[in-house]
Structure 1
Amino acid sequence: MSYTIYTATGCTRCKIVKQCMKERGIDFVEQDMKAEGKEAFRKFYSANRKSIFRGPDGVEFPILTDGSTICQGIGTSIAFLHAGNKLDGFFGVGTLHKEWVDGIYVSAGNPKYVTEFMEVLRYLKGNNMKLQLETNGLNSNILQQVLDEGLADVVIMNVLGPRELYSRILGQEVDMNEVEKTIPTVTKFPEYRFQTTVVPVIRQESEPNEISFLTAKEIGETAKLIADGTGSMKNPYLIRLWNPKLTTDQRFKAVKAMSINDMFSYRTSARCHQVLTEIEKE
């Protein structure tokens, strides 16, 4: 198997991934996009544009490929080197910079591979990286292990909605006992916050589907779920606008997005149970 790593001059994350490959005896070719590898990266990017994320600050490096799989960023690259595709779901492309690594999703991976997941977190922390993890409440035992070992600096919990809508929003059956177990665990990390995106919900499976956004009352119930789980009304809680451009569900493609002004009634409702509730800025 032949590996190529696309790097940027002075990129600490790139150095860590290269170090990992050397430790594992993996041969690789490096293409520095700011030096002699500029043309090679241009051709690679042109051929794989749909598979490479470009954010507001540009392309995240390193980018690692074995000819078939493309891993972008330090988290996905280290995960792939440690466990191949077993950790798919746990790691994605991050948006933070310098010593911070995000794009780590506790709830999205297969809990069968918790040992491999923890190994990757230890490796990243062992290389002086700070980790931001996200959870929606699933895989609560994994989050507890992360807490016990002190492997996360920030944890964000996406509380999807009130109890009765959680499974419908996620699109799979959810054990709410697990979600309720996660909520107090989140507050034990050095830094944390809860957040809810005001998403459209399929209220009834029919033709056409009956779709409407979470209501202000339902966001209030979600805030109460947090209060009940933590025993506090003073948790950092963020209400977020849903972005139709990010949905992969074709049923929601025609749904018109809400505006910031629509969020004020939601904030008022949430503050009945979480007084620090704020609206995410656009």
Structure 2
Amino acid sequence: MGSILYTAPDCIRCKIVKDFLAEKRQEYRAVDFKGDTETFNKFYRTYRKAIYRNPEGVEFPLFQDGDVIRQGSGEILAYLLSGHGLEGCVTRSDMLHGKISGLYPSQCPDGQEENFQTLVRRLAEGGLQVWLQTDGRKPELLEKLLCVKNTHVLCNMVGGAEATTKIFGGAPSADELGATIRLVSNTPDGAVRFLVMPLPDDSGWSWPRREDAAAAAKMVAAACGQPTLPYTITPVTPEMTWDTRGLEPLPGENLLMYRSAARQHLFKAEIAR
């Protein structure tokens, strides 16, 4: 069976993928889910567990290459550019209506930087507002990506170096984080934030402790030397791609605790609205 691209009418994300396939002269079969509901429904029933539904329904496009299923323009282009090379740094987007996320340059494998740059450029040139997320590593790559028009960035802090390594597979040096913060600060809508997400511990997973919030803010303050740097406390939500690990909802008072801890090092820390 050859490659199949499942699309929706008037879908800008679908057009981005179609244009890329046409440019590469790659053969594939296009199936419009409204024009050929029988074929799409058969595909959907077969691969239901692998298909993501956002609050507005199934996200298009979807690409089938044998047993490989990729969904969303970011994941599909990443696969077409690199095979499985960008899997660890490109995931589904949790943004809708002309925006796309799920792009993590800090986790881009060595040797895949050019493919990552091509991916971001194609998404932005196709008309999407691209939102990158960084943990502070690879500021050189981030700087190149931010030269692409309509590209934005969020810097996620989850705790100290140990917690960061457990979540992201590595932690930035002070120089890397400092360079990243400067780039984020000079980008429209860029933000440095404490992303409140489950962290692994001896018993499994739990919400961050006060010490984790303090350690994250301390890393930021030490790296940038700006205790007045704007800094937000942002809890993950079910709509985000981050897994809440089945934990009970985050108690509201925890956000106040995290803000208090962060303000030991970053005086303008605020809870995201």
**How high is the TM-score relative to the length of structure 2?**
0.84
Which string of whole-angstrom CA distances, capped at 9 and with x for unpartnered residues, describes residues 151-199 of structure 1? 56221111121245433x3374535343444333322222211232253
Q: For the aligned residues, what is the CA RMSD?
A: 2.8
Paired residue for 1:223? 217
Paired residue for 1:38? 37
Quote the offset at 1:232 in angstroms: 4.5
Structure 2 residue identity aligned to 1:191: D
Moved more, 14-23 or 234-243: 234-243
- Stretches of structure 1 that go unaligned for 5 or more consecutive residues are none
Which string of whole-angstrom CA distances, capped at 9 and with x for unpartnered residues, describes residues 252-271 of structure 1? 76x65532233222222223
Q: CA 1:241/1:128 → structure 2, altered by over 3 Å: closer, same or farther?
A: closer
Quote the offset at 1:7 in angstroms: 0.8
Structure 1 residue identity aligned to 2:234: I
After TM superposition, the structure 1 = structure 2 runs for residues 73-222 of structure 1, keeping only pairs within 5 Å, are 73-147=72-146, 149-150=147-148, 153-163=151-161, 165-167=163-165, 169-170=166-167, 172=169, 174-177=171-174, 178-195=176-193, 196-202=195-201, 209=203, 213-222=207-216
Structure 1 residue 260 corresponds to structure 2 residue 252: yes
Moved more, 210-219 or 47-56: 210-219
Paired residue for 1:29? 29
Moved more, 136-145 or 18-27: 136-145
Once residues 132 and 15 of structure 1 are traced to their aligned partners in structure 2, the CA distance between those partners, rounded to angstroms, is: 19
After TM superposition, the structure 1 = structure 2 runs for residues 48-63 of structure 1, keeping only pairs within 5 Å, are 48-63=47-62
- Stretches of structure 2 that go unaligned for 5 or more consecutive residues are none
Which string of whole-angstrom CA distances, capped at 9 and with x for unpartnered residues, describes residues 77-100 of structure 1? 122222222221222111222332
Secondary structure of 1:107's aligned partner: helix
Structure 2 residue identity aligned to 1:115: E
Paired residue for 1:239? 234
Moved more, 255-264 or 121-130: 255-264
Q: CA 1:197/1:8 → structure 2, altered by over 3 Å: closer, same or farther?
A: same
Quote the offset at 1:60 in angstroms: 0.9
Q: CA 1:242/1:273 → structure 2, altered by over 3 Å: closer, same or farther?
A: farther
Which string of whole-angstrom CA distances, capped at 9 and with x for unpartnered residues, describes residues 215-248 of structure 1? 22431332232233332524141231587x9649
User: Is contact 1:192-1:236 (8 Å) kept?
Assistant: no
Secondary structure of 1:64's aligned partner: strand
Once residues 168 and 73 of structure 2 are traced to their aligned partners in structure 1, the CA distance between those partners, rounded to angstroms, is: 29
Secondary structure of 1:191's aligned partner: coil
User: Is contact 1:241-1:258 (8 Å) kept?
Assistant: no
Structure 2 residue identity aligned to 1:220: A
The alignment of Structure 1 onto Structure 2 pairs a total of residues equal to: 268
Once residues 246 and 137 of structure 1 are traced to their aligned partners in structure 2, the CA distance between those partners, rounded to angstroms, is: 18
Structure 2 residue identity aligned to 1:240: P
Quote the offset at 1:111 in angstroms: 2.4
Paired residue for 1:71? 70
User: Is contact 2:135-2:172 (8 Å) kept?
Assistant: no
Structure 1 residue 270 corresponds to structure 2 residue 262: yes
Once residues 185 and 236 of structure 1 are traced to their aligned partners in structure 2, the CA distance between those partners, rounded to angstroms, is: 15
Once residues 212 and 23 of structure 1 are traced to their aligned partners in structure 2, the CA distance between those partners, rounded to angstroms, is: 47
Secondary structure of 2:107's aligned partner: coil
Which string of whole-angstrom CA distances, capped at 9 and with x for unpartnered residues, describes residues 109-144 of structure 1? 312211111112222222232210011123333212
Secondary structure of 2:108's aligned partner: coil
User: Is contact 2:145-2:151 (8 Å) kept?
Assistant: no
Q: State, as a whole percentage, how many aligned pairs show the same letter.
A: 27
User: Is contact 1:106-1:133 (8 Å) kept?
Assistant: yes
Secondary structure of 1:137's aligned partner: coil
